[in-house]
């Protein structure tokens, strides 16, 4: 099939590349000429393991193309994917101006019947609105079917997820259109769940909100564990073995970040509010998440009389491992606080430092590797659980730091191993270890 994908952000580029990999001819459209030039050479604008290789392969095999030109991009296509951003407005609602522009572009360019598939996360009812925008602006006498096809990819694992997802959700009012999109996705070998458009739109928000709820839930359990002397990891493990609960997304830490959970949870509260429903539980989830970063900082404040002049090594800046994405990363709030308290912050992240430099406080210093960050530090804060940090010998903290006090916001180390070293180790929801006095 001939497919156009509008928007080459994380969702659009991964979708377009993976659709070309399963044999379709894909034209990716973006307004940014520089970006398009780079992508034509197989250079991805985002860090996503395996993406560049897959782009290069499909560009060479002449299935994957990039353009800024809508006439060229929409020529003869059977299916158009909308994958532009829906950023958060100040009130938490989704800004649909990019989606509206794409709908108008589609209406003015298409010359044959098409199926328009919405990948972008959009509030319930948006696909009906997209259809009306297209219908009202159509230049040619063609038929347009709309399909809602939300994506469930995780950043950093997007290529893997594309080929190993749990389900593909297809929401449509026209059965033939739903079947066509089901067939188009068949080579992925992932079960297709067909439903109506509004339910498909809701599935996306409900899924992300539920995962965020799991995280905030385990984070509150973790906070209680600290006070009652229990170990949250064992608690999560024991809970997760119940199939009705499931073991995933029960890692306690400093809360969820990224471009999706914070935005989508707020948008769902807004969607509910628009129909006079107060989503109390989800409001609580959002509040708990915001508080979770403070909990780590409170522990730090309790431990030291003052942070003034202290060298603090911050390990990990990205909102999670395997991405250079800094959106809503805990490191933003945490480094800001440390700088305000007069600390000398030396940060290191394996891939997110270039992006971090654009948004973190100018007083944050950057090290070129973990050991350099730890050198002579008074405290180490672990904010992202990169394997590079998890694989670190605990002895490296002891050997390089002035005072080996570790605050691990992501529970990277097994306390039983840490116990064998001369360090002070505070993690989330687990008893602290204080072996520093043995020095
Ligand atoms: C999330 C969903 O997992 C995807 O299914 C969805 O497609 C995507 O949002 C989206 O809407 O586009 P993503 O934001 O890439 O994916 O990252 P996750 O792996 O879900 O992690 C989100 C945040 O939750 C991270 O900050 C992570 O550190 C945190 N987290 C995750 C926890 O604190 N504990 C956990 O147990 C799991």
65-92 per-position pLDDT tens digit:
999 999 999 999 999 999 999 988 888 8
- 180 and 209 in a single domain? The answer is no
- 325 and 425 in a single domain? The answer is yes
Tell me if 253 CB under 6 Å of ligand 1: yes
Which of 172, 195, 218 represents a domain boundary (last residue)? 195
Structure confidence at residue 437 (pLDDT): 62
What is the bridge-based pairing of β-strands 424-426 and 433-434? antiparallel
Count the domains in the chain: 3
Structure confidence at residue 439 (pLDDT): 43
Which of 279, 301, 318 represents a domain boundary (last residue)? 279
What are 411's two structure tokens?
A: 């529970």
Q: How far is the CA of 383 from the centre of ligand 1 (A)?
A: 15
Give the active site residue among 18, 28, 225, 260. 260
CA angle 267, 214, 171 (to 5 degrees): 50
The complex scores an ipTM of 0.98
- 306 and 429 in a single domain? The answer is yes
Q: How far is the CA of 261 from the centre of ligand 1 (A)?
A: 7
Distance CA 65, CA 150 (A): 23
Q: Cα–Cα distances in Å, from 95 out to 30, 86, 173, 269, 364? A: 18, 5, 25, 15, 32
- What's the distance, CA 314 to chain centroid? 21
Report which secondary-structure segment, H or E, holds 192.
strand 192-195
Minimum CA distance residue for ligand 1 atom 10: 260
Tell me if 325 CB under 6 Å of ligand 1: no
Which of 157, 172, 195 represents a domain boundary (last residue)? 195
- 176 and 140 in a single domain? The answer is yes
Q: Which of 121, 258, 331 to mutate to test the pocket of ligand 1 (most atoms within 8 A of CB)?
A: 258
Tell me if 217 CB under 6 Å of ligand 1: no
Tell me if 349 CB under 6 Å of ligand 1: no
Structure confidence at residue 94 (pLDDT): 84
Active site residue 260: yes
- What's the distance, CA 159 to chain centroid? 14
Distance CA 202, CA 219 (A): 25
At 249, which CATH number? 1.10.1040.10
Burial class (CB in 10 A: 0-12, 13-18, 19+), 33: exposed
What are 181's two structure tokens?
A: 């999109």
Q: Cα–Cα distances in Å, from 45 out to 11, 300, 304, 387? A: 12, 37, 42, 23
| Cα four-point dihedral sign 149, 29, 93, 214 | positive
Distance CA 88, CA 108 (A): 27
- 33 and 107 in a single domain? The answer is yes
For the chain, residues with pLDDT lower than 70 are: 437-439
Q: Are 70 and 31 in contact (CB under 8 A)?
A: no
Q: How far is the CA of 326 from the centre of ligand 1 (A)?
A: 13
Domain that holds residue 386: 288-438
Q: What radius of gyration do the chain's Cα atoms show? A: 24
- 215 and 189 in a single domain? The answer is no
Beta bridge pairs of residue 97 = none
Q: How far is the CA of 420 from the centre of ligand 1 (A)?
A: 33
- 214 and 241 in a single domain? The answer is yes
- 188 and 235 in a single domain? The answer is no
Q: Are 423 and 405 in contact (CB under 8 A)?
A: yes
Q: How far is the CA of 203 from the centre of ligand 1 (A)?
A: 16
Minimum CA distance residue for ligand 1 atom 25: 256
Distance CA 69, CA 81 (A): 16
Minimum CA distance residue for ligand 1 atom 23: 256
Tell me if 112 CB under 6 Å of ligand 1: no
Minimum CA distance residue for ligand 1 atom 11: 260
- Give the nearest ligand 1 atom to 323 CA: 15
Whether this model's pTM surpasses 0.90: yes
- Give the nearest ligand 1 atom to 330 CA: 26
Q: How far is the CA of 257 from the centre of ligand 1 (A)?
A: 7
């Amino acid at each position: 099939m001939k497919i156009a994908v509008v928007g080459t952000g994380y969702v659009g580029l991964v979708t377009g590349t993976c659709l070309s990999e399963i044999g379709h001819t894909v034209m990716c459209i973006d307004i940014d000429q520089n970006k398009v030039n780079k992508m034509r050479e197989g250079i991805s604008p985002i860090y996503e393991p395996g993406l560049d290789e897959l782009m290069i392969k499909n560009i060479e095999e002449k299935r994957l193309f990039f353009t800024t030109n809508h006439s060229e991009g929409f020529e003869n296509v059977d299916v158009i994917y909308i994958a532009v951003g829906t950023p958060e407005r100040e009130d938490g609602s989704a800004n649909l101006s990019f989606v509206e522009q794409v709908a108008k572009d589609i209406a003015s360019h298409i010359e044959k019947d098409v199926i328009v598939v919405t990948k972008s996360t959009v509030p319930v009812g948006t696909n009906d609105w997209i259809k009306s925008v297209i219908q009202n602006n159509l230049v040619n006498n063609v038929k347009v079917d709309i399909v809602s096809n939300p994506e469930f990819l995780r950043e950093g694992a997007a290529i893997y997820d594309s080929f190993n997802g749990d389900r593909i959700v297809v929401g449509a009012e026209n059965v033939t259109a739903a079947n066509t999109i089901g067939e188009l996705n068949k080579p992925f070998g992932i079960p297709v769940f067909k439903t109506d458009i509004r339910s498909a739109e809701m599935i996306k928000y409900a899924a992300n909100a539920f995962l965020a709820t799991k995280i905030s839930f385990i984070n509150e359990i973790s906070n209680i564990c600290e006070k009652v002397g229990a170990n949250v990891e064992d608690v999560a493990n024991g809970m997760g073995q119940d199939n009705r609960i499931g073991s995933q997304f029960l890692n306690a830490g400093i809360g969820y970040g990224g471009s999706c959970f914070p935005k989508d949870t707020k948008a769902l509260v807004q969607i509910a509010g628009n129909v006079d429903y107060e989503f109390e539980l989800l409001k609580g989830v959002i509040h708990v998440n915001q508080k979770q970063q403070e909990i780590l900082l409170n522990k730090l404040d309790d431990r030291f009389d003052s942070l003034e002049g202290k060298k603090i090594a911050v390990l990990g800046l990205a909102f999670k491992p395997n991405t250079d994405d800094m959106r809503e990363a805990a490191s933003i709030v945490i480094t800001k606080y440390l700088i305000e308290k007069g600390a000398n912050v030396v940060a290191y992240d394996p891939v997110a430092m270039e992006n971090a430099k654009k948004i973190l406080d100018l007083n944050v210093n950057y090290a070129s590797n973990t050991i350099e960050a730890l050198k002579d530090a008074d405290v180490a804060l672990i904010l992202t659980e990169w394997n590079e940090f998890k694989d670190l010998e605990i002895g490296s903290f002891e050997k390089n730091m002035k005072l080996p006090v570790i605050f691990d916001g992501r529970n990277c180390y097994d306390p039983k191993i840490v116990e064998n070293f001369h360090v002070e180790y505070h993690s989330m929801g687990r008893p602290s270890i204080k072996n520093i006095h043995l020095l």
